[in-house]
């Protein structure tokens, strides 16, 4: 049986370990929920204060130019691009993941239908994060029958892509199980059927290797407040392959996506490329915090970047699975996440019939993960700040809770968490 | 001729004058651009720091409940409701003005067409703020010919509303001229033709009296960073009349607008009432700053509230017009804003053939207004922090610039401002 010292040894040899100091994490807390809300970089409070007090308070309206607010969405987008295999000028950080998904879905459907009007289906996975399905449903409702959303079982997704498919819309890493699609293979298979492919990178960006160009994806969107550590409700991001730049039309045609926003022309002319996916004025304070979060991920560059992050993520999740299965297997925990590391994102989920009170008990003991209905214990691993000893300690607490059944005493607080 | 002491006297007798201390305003700066970006309330930096360091940094994911983040959009919305004649539970603070306009336009068109499929027109004013027209155009483009956008001259707006009109979409106070519609009269006239009426309150909320219920409006949206002092790119707000609660469907059907967001059901069921207009996760840090800004306006309650703000606004704009016309009328300035106070919002615009360099010269002298192409000098008056002596001093600087033609030496900085 492995000892805590074995895990401590892994931390000593971990090139990413020093990066943990970038984050504020309360002493004694084991935070395994960075896939819901990433931890706060220590640089963020000062940067936010600077934006509020200096740029806004003193600079006022002048800061749109003097502090570069007007370029901020593109500037943060360029930084995110480096984490997802996109090129400079291809990503903007704006709006929410849901709003950005609406934009790219509408754009992708129009492109697909310009090629072939018979393509009326959006295919997705029934266990996709609900907002993705809702957004597709909302678009279909607006288009009154021109589009049908088919949310099928995961195993049936590829077989469901047909000559009627306009868009295949998938979340790269499943929010509930951590199961990860082979982006390149799935994209190629769907495109071979003439479909466009939209990827939601909410649980991928900053945690696993993503290469949108290598995968030849069509559109992608993602979240700023999970592994990018951008803060609660941080702006999201959006990417499109440059082959769509000329023809992509997105319906949220706001003034900051106009080719000449300050000409105040009454007619909409989209800006070139991804800039047309900007809509209204972005929330500058939250966007500045997002930039700090993205910088915290980019700081891993010298220690191997995303490849090193992914390698550590795999080691952390594997260690967690192994440790649980060797220590608490008899207590009714069942692995829900893929056992094979290359099929798994940066999280591990176990099912248990008492998952909810067990998670409450864990949180009360300082091990913060997530409960996902009906019976999932979800643990996220952010390699930038999660240590191998955290894996050991978390499992120790979990085993004790299970073996003493102390979760029965856990306060049943109402708790909702944002994925 | 009035002297500075006359204006100082008005300040002494102004019940709102003490509220200026709520804001950080650099010594010597005359800020007449609060209709583009409101000044920073002094309480904002501390509140933002608390959200970042305490709620996010320490509370992490738990703050969705413990710090009330999950209710924040509704809570800030309730505060905004008090400023626009809406009731508690009728307003949410989310997304951007542009995104919210898309939601309400789509919802309003569906309601109109459910009554009568022949109603296919969106009528608006050609001189409306461009993003409003763009958003309508984007929706029309998406709906491929089902909808037509007719942007007509201001004088022709009401005559253009017909049995073919689904929605009349207007901005209450024009961004460029400050001209204000009679909301109740226009709404009634359009509704008499069977149209629904959507109001953009971007240049109204917090500055002029708005009573959405008294006007019997159908939908309204508005901006958080102008007279509400919410900070750069602050979230916007959205309202609908409760008579539409049951049937209004908005296409940006995100998970936080679901009836049970944490059930993670694959099918979208809209939340009751305005809550369905929430889409993705809101930018909490920016939203917290917006709350401070709204509180700064609500603090006028004891001094007479919006009625007192409007009264002072009218006095400020009138004094500015009078002072300019008596001091610099001969220098080619021409009033663009309505001369009658009840037709004017909280801004005053003059045209001048050299408007751009004149505004540059004003800004260089510490009088910050806005240039609006092609020839408009725009001055916004925020009664919470603009003093009568500011009116006097601003006109003195303007007269000196005009009489000495010193604007010819003004540095022609590229300057863009966000409306």
Mutate to test the interface with B, among A26, A30, A58, A60 (most CBs of B within 10 A): A60
Percent of chain B's residues with pLDDT above 70: 98
B395 — pLDDT class (breaks 50, 70, 90): very high
Tens-digit pLDDT profile for residues B132-145: 999 999 999 999 88
Is A24 catalytic? The answer is: no
Contact B69 A280 (CB under 8 A): no
Contacts of B109 in chain A (CB under 8 A): none
For residue B233, the chain A residues in CB contact (below 8 A) are 69, 280-285, 287
Q: What is the mean pLDDT of residues B101-117?
A: 97
Q: Which of the residues A14, A33, A95, A200 is marked catalytic? A: A200
**Low-confidence residues in chain A, pLDDT < 50:** 413-417
- Reported as a single tens digit per residue, the pLDDT across B120-131 is 999 999 999 999
Residue B46: what are its φ and ψ, rounded to 5°?
-65, -40
Q: Which of B99, B262, B413 sits opposite A416 (nearest CB)?
A: B262
Q: Is B265 within 8 Å of A36 when comparing Cβ atoms?
A: no
B98–A252 CB contact, under 8 Å: yes
Q: Which of B14, B33, B95, B200 is catalytic?
A: B200
A129 is a catalytic site residue: yes
Chosen for mutation from A102, A286, A287 (greatest number of chain B CBs closer than 10 Å) is A286
B33 is catalytic: no
pLDDT tens digit string along B42-86?
999 999 999 999 999 999 999 999 999 999 999 999 999 999 999
The tens digit of pLDDT for each residue in B149-183 reads 999 999 999 999 999 999 999 999 999 999 999 99
The pLDDT of residue B145 is 82
Report the distance separating Cα A297 and Cα A41, nearest Å: 10
- Substitution target from B134, B229, B276 for chain A, most A beta carbons within 10 A: B134
Nearest chain A residue (CA) to B267: A134
At residue B1, the pLDDT reads 82
| A40/B130 Cβ within 8 A | no
In chain B, the residue whose alpha carbon lies closest to the alpha carbon of A126 is B266
- How big is the A-B interface in CB pairs under 8 Å? 303
CA distances from A329 to A15, A107, A209, A358, A410 (A): 31, 48, 31, 15, 21
Residue B370 annotated in active site: no
| Subunit contact A130:B370, Cβ cutoff 8 A | no
Query: Which residues does chain A have within 8 Å of residue B151's beta carbon, measured at their own beta carbons?
Result: 266
Contact A40 B24 (CB under 8 A): no
Task: Determine the pLDDT at residue B410.
Answer: 60
The pLDDT of residue A419 is: 52
| Alpha-carbon distance A347 to nearest alpha carbon in chain B (angstroms) | 16
CA neighbor of A224 nearest in space, from A289, A164, A144: A289
Set of chain B residues whose Cβ sits within 8 Å of the Cβ of A130? 255, 258, 264-266, 268
Asked about A226 being catalytic, the answer comes back as: yes
pLDDT of residue B419: 52
Cα(B248)–Cα(A145) distance, integer angstroms: 18
Q: What is the mean pLDDT of residues B190-194?
A: 98
Which pLDDT does position B91 carry in this prediction? 98
What pLDDT does A264 receive? Answer: 87
Count CA atoms within 13 Å of residue B111 on its CB side: 24
pLDDT at B39: 98
Would you place residue B409 in the very low, low, confident or very high pLDDT band (cuts 50, 70, 90)?
confident
Give the mean pLDDT of chain B.
Answer: 96
Backbone angles phi, psi at B52, to 5 degrees: -70, -55
Q: How far is B202 from chain A (nearest CA, A)?
A: 13
pLDDT of B84 reads 98
pTM given for the model = 0.97
Of B52, B134, B232, the CB nearest to A255: B134
Q: Look at A39 and B53 and tell me if their CB atoms are within 8 Å.
A: no
| Averaged pLDDT, B251-273 | 93
Does an H or E element contain A184, and which? helix A183-192
Q: State residue A409's pLDDT score.
A: 74
- Region B361-378: what's the mean pLDDT? 95
Query: Which are the contacts of A139, defined by CB distance < 8 A and separation ≥ 6?
Result: A102, A105, A106, A109, A122, A147, B251
Chain B environment of A151 (Cβ under 8 Å): 266
């Amino acid at each position: 049986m492995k000892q805590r010292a074995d895990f401590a040894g892994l931390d000593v040899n971990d090139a990413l370990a020093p990066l943990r100091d970038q984050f504020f994490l309360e002493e004694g807390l084991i935070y395994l929920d960075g896939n819901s809300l990433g931890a706060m970089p220590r640089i963020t409070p000062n940067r936010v204060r600077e934006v509020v007090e200096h740029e806004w308070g003193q600079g006022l309206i002048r800061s749109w130019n003097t502090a570069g607010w007007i370029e901020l969405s593109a500037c943060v987008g360029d930084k995110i691009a480096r984490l997802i295999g996109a090129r400079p000028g291809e990503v903007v950080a704006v709006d929410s993941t849901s709003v950005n998904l609406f934009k790219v879905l509408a754009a992708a459907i129009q492109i697909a239908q310009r090629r072939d009007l018979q393509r009326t289906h959006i295919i997705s996975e029934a266990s996709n994060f609900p907002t993705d399905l809702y957004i597709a449903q909302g678009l279909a409702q607006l288009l009154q029958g021109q589009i049908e959303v088919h949310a099928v079982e995961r195993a049936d997704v590829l077989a469901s892509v047909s000559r009627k498919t306009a868009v295949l819309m998938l979340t790269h890493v499943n929010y509930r199980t951590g199961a990860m699609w082979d982006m390149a293979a799935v994209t190629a298979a769907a495109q071979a059927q003439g479909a466009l492919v939209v990827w939601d990178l909410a649980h991928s960006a900053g945690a696993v290797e993503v290469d949108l160009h290598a995968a030849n994806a069509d559109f992608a969107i993602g979240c700023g407040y999970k592994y990018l550590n951008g803060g609660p409700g941080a702006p999201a991001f959006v990417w499109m392959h440059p082959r769509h730049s000329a023809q992509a039309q997105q319906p949220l045609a706001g003034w900051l996506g106009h080719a000449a926003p300050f000409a105040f022309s009454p007619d909409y002319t989209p800006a070139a490329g991804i800039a047309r996916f900007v809509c209204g004025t972005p929330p500058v304070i939250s966007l500045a915090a997002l930039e700090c979060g993205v910088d915290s991920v980019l700081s891993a560059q010298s220690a191997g970047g995303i490849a090193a992050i992914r390698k550590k993520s795999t080691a952390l999740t594997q260690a967690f699975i192994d440790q649980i299965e060797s220590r608490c297997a008899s207590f009714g925990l069942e692995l829900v996440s893929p056992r094979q590391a290359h099929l798994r994102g940066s999280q591990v989920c176990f099912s248990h019939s008492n998952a909810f009170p067990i998670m409450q008990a864990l949180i009360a003991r300082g091990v913060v993960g997530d409960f996902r209905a009906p019976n999932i214990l979800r643990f996220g691993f952010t390699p930038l700040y999660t240590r191998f000893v955290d894996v050991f300690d978390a499992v120790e607490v979990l085993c004790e809770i299970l073996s003493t059944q102390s979760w029965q005493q856990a306060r049943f607080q109402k708790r909702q968490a944002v994925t």
